[in-house]
Amino acid sequence: MSKPEGSRSWSAFFHSERSKRQSMVPGSRFITTDFDRGVWEVVAVAPRAGHVIPHARLARVGMPSDTKTVSVGVLADRHFYLPADKV
């Protein structure tokens, strides 16, 4: 099976995901791009059982009991989250 034209190699994909994870350390803050514009802080970054891509555990700033887990790929996607220090 050949890879689709224009697709990245698995090596490039994993290197990209590793660099995303390294830039998302506990304490990093992100703002959602939806109507809520909530500020979320990275609590932990770790692999999740059954997933190839690492995930970040987030807590809402000011409401630490409000938590969620997202892949580092989603967290790095500027369509969903923006680094709080860039806004």
Whichever domain contains 55, its CATH number is 2.30.30
Task: Kindly state whether residue 36 falls inside one of the protein's structural domains.
Answer: yes
Which carries the bigger pLDDT value, residue 84 or residue 87?
A: 84
The number of distinct structural domains making up the chain is: 1
- Report in angstroms the alpha-carbon separations of 9 from 1, 16, 82: 13, 11, 27
Instruction: Answer yes or no: is 63 within a domain.
Output: yes
C-alpha span between 52 and 71 (Å, rounded) = 10
Average of pLDDT values for 34-38? 88
Residue among 86, 81, 87 nearest 60 (CA): 81
5 within a domain of the structure (yes/no): no
Structural domain contains residue 9:
no
Burial of 52 (0-12, 13-18, 19+ CB in 10 A): exposed
Residue 18 is assigned to a structural domain of this protein: no
Domain extent at residue 65:
25-86
Give pLDDT, residue 14: 46
Examine residue 20 and state whether it is found in any structural domain, yes or no.
no
Taking the complete model, does pTM exceed 0.85, yes or no? no
